[in-house]
Structure 1
């Protein structure tokens, strides 16, 4: 392993926490719902909607409405567009309170002291940089090795964003590993670009039908740290 690059959302922090807090603030205990499944569905529809927003087929507000509304419909719950946008407002607010765990801090320090490290993350530039600042990732990553799709002009799973990051970090001929939670964006994207892949599977998702497989799969921050210690 010559270098390791990381996703941000639900990889370097637990994204379900601000999601659940926003849901409870808006709906209280109105719905008895499997929050883990709702969050997973929201992430699935978020990935779909993000692609549409990137191509100009959907505005950001339409994307926010789509992902939570579609997820709730799978529980036979219908909400108004107004409530969907209110949920997003609360969600964005709680994302300003996110933090990285002590395990992630130790892991990033361990990696940084041994190999070049960087970040590749999908999302609008301002939104992602705000999260990066809130998480304090500047302690481990220089701005020059943080690649946000909104800045680069292409997004995961497009192999071009992985190649772009490797080119900027002068890692063209290196053994580069990528860690991320999204199977399509992170595992399939990294593998298509010729990188090694570690699937951060916090949610214990089953393997998709896709023939692409990560080099490793981990289910927790502790397991990820142990694996990186072994590989480095």
Structure 2
């Protein structure tokens, strides 16, 4: 299941730009990402089953929560530096996740940047620069933490930001000239690193 999840995220990232540009509907993107992921296991499903999978997936997203360690990390950071969020996805869907996670405890609405609202998405440098501009931060002083190598690490580094790769699943580095400033494999490691950096 973990491999399936990782693959579905990979194909989701691959199709995301097409769904945002109108080349692909959201339903087509949902179908594409799960069918492509399952195909790697020689499993084929019809479009109807892919959409049913998406319906179940969306239902479980309403049950997500911030871990106790991440609550400590966010509180630690919030009390020391300005913090914000950049997230890819349609506006309504992402704000629903933000609400479910209770992120307003740590972030103001004007420091949460949803690609569907901004009109550009990670890994484009523009969304990172937009967030820095709105938060009145100098790019070179910003540390960005993200779990997607392509969207977060490559995007942030190309925008001139420092970056920490949250590599929870211990992925090997992809073929890329870009490297994060730091790589951590757990929230506990992230917390320990941030305590040294801030």
TM-score range with shorter-chain normalisation?
over 0.9
Asked if 1:142 is matched to 2:77, the reply is no
Task: Give the structure with the larger helix fraction.
Answer: 2
Alignment TM-score, normalising by the size of structure 1 = 0.84
Work out the CA distance in 1 between the residues paired with 2:138 and 2:191.
Answer: 25
2:77 aligned to which of 111, 118, 128: 111
Q: What displacement does 1:72 show?
A: 0.2
How many angstroms does 1:54 deviate by? 1.5
Query: Contact 1:36/1:203 (CA < 8 Å) preserved in 2?
Result: no
> Moved runs in structure 1, 4+ residues, more than 3 A?
none
Q: Counterpart in 2 of 1:47?
A: 13
Pairing of 1:192-207 with structure 2 (within 5 A): 192-207=158-173
Alignment of 1:85-124 (within 5 A): 85-124=51-90
5+ residue gaps in structure 2?
A: none
Q: CA RMSD in A?
A: 0.8
1:127 paired to 2:93? yes
**Residue correspondences, number:** 198
Tell me the alpha carbon deviations over residues 24-56 of structure 1, each in whole angstroms, 9 at most, x when there is no partner: xxxxxxxxxxx1211111111000110111121
Stretches of structure 1 that go unaligned for 5 or more consecutive residues are 1-34
Partner of 1:3: none
The Cα of 1:172 is off from its aligned counterpart by: 2.7
Structure with more relative contact order (C-alpha pairs < 8 Å, separation 6 or more): 1
